[in-house]
Amino acid sequence: MAKAKETKPAPGRFAYEGLERAIHEKARLGIMSSLMTRPEGLSFNELKELCDLTDGNLNRHLEVLSEAGLVTVRKQEGTGRGRTLCKISSQGRTRFKEYLEELERVIADAAAASAAGQRLSAT
Amino acid sequence: MAKAKETKPAPGRFAYEGLERAIHEKARLGIMSSLMTRPEGLSFNELKELCDLTDGNLNRHLEVLSEAGLVTVRKQEGTGRGRTLCKISSQGRTRFKEYLEELERVIADAAAASAAGQRLSAT
């Protein structure tokens, strides 16, 4: 007789397709999070400090985010030295929220796995 | 008179140093999550299907995880064709949990930012 089967997770169950690559990279995740906290934008130097990045790295990651339509980067000319203002775009906000929903699934999966592991070790 | 200052976040506040690179990559995050759900291990083919990866990609990512001490990969010879068994290591379990704690901080930061944004738009 066939023995009782465990419920088998669906193919691709752990592919986490919702983790958009442009956002998921660690430094860019930090940049997006910083910009979420400041809808009015952050200067290049503020971002650099908050995310602990070099000029070169921050530039490179802002380029990726900006090409993906997630942020806007604008040189502000004015009194004194120019200042670069970085802002999350409205599309960026929406996509970051979708990204976070997938991240919550990752955590929920791990929590479920951890609970199952505890049940196993208790038997 | 100096106007009331916003509390300024500390330098590196959004660097998320706890997001270990070996784990954070999207495919490897899926592999680690799958293996967490199955302490007794998963076969190469099961992992491939769950994470929706090609042979080449899965091989490459398992190599990274195994070199980092996060998983073990063992060829099982036996009756019939060989089978490759992949398991999360005990160190891998601990480090994955630490990784998840940092991930929870990312989500908490975004939730706080989102709540602050709603307060702003309500005024």
Single-letter code of the amino acid located at A73:
V
The pLDDT score that the predictor gives to residue A1 is: 46
Q: Write the pLDDT tens digit of every residue in A71-87.
A: 999 988 775 667 899 99
- Establish if A117 touches chain B: CB-CB under 8 angstroms: yes
The pLDDT score that the predictor gives to residue A82 is: 72
Q: Is the pLDDT of residue B12 over 80?
A: yes
Q: Write the pLDDT tens digit of every residue in A20-69.
A: 999 999 999 999 999 999 999 999 999 999 999 999 999 999 999 999 99
What percentage of chain A has pLDDT greater than the value 70? 87
ipTM attached to this prediction: 0.86
Q: Is the pLDDT of residue A9 over 70?
A: yes
- Establish if B43 touches chain A: CB-CB under 8 angstroms: no
- Establish if A108 touches chain B: CB-CB under 8 angstroms: no
Residue A19 per-residue DSSP state: S
SS3 A7: coil
Residues of B in contact with A113 (CB under 8 A): 33, 36-37
Judge whether A70 and A64 are in contact, CB under 8 Å: no
| More confident call, A72 vs A4 | A72
pLDDT bracket for residue B118 (50, 70, 90): low
The pLDDT score that the predictor gives to residue B42 is: 96
The pLDDT score that the predictor gives to residue B1 is: 45
Residues of A in contact with B102 (CB under 8 A): none
- Establish if B88 touches chain A: CB-CB under 8 angstroms: no
Q: Write the pLDDT tens digit of every residue in B81-114.
A: 678 999 999 999 999 999 999 999 999 998 888 7
Q: How far is B96 from chain A (nearest CA, A)?
A: 9
End-to-end, the C-alpha distance of chain B in Å comes to 25
Over residues B109-123, mean pLDDT: 73
Over residues B38-47, mean pLDDT: 95
- What would the two tokens of residue B31 be? 């592999």
Per DSSP, the residues of chain B read -PPPPPPPPPTTTT--TTS-HHHHSHHHHHHHHHHHH-TT-EEHHHHHHHHT--HHHHHHHHHHHHHTTSEEEEEE--SSS-EEEEEE-HHHHHHHHHHHHHHHHHHHHHHHHHHHHHHHHH-
**Which chain B residue shows the shortest CA-CA distance from A15?**
B51
Residues of B in contact with A19 (CB under 8 A): 26, 29
- Taking the model in full, what pTM does it have? 0.88
- CB-CB under 8 Å, A15 with B52: yes
- Find all residues with CB under 8 Å of B67, minimum gap 6, and list them: none
Judge whether B30 and B61 are in contact, CB under 8 Å: no
- Find all residues with CB under 8 Å of B81, minimum gap 6, and list them: none
- Establish if A36 touches chain B: CB-CB under 8 angstroms: yes
Which of B36, B51, B114 minimises the CB distance to A15?
B51
- Establish if A19 touches chain B: CB-CB under 8 angstroms: yes
Which of B14, B34, B49 minimises the CB distance to A51?
B14
User: Which of A5, A8, A14 to mutate against chain B (most B CBs within 10 Å)?
Assistant: A14
- Establish if B123 touches chain A: CB-CB under 8 angstroms: no
Judge whether B71 and B88 are in contact, CB under 8 Å: yes
Specify the DSSP element, H or E, that contains A83: strand A83-88
SS3 A86: strand
Residue A80 per-residue DSSP state: S
Single-letter code of the amino acid located at B36:
M
In angstroms, the CA B116 to CA B111 distance is 9
Judge whether B26 and B20 are in contact, CB under 8 Å: no
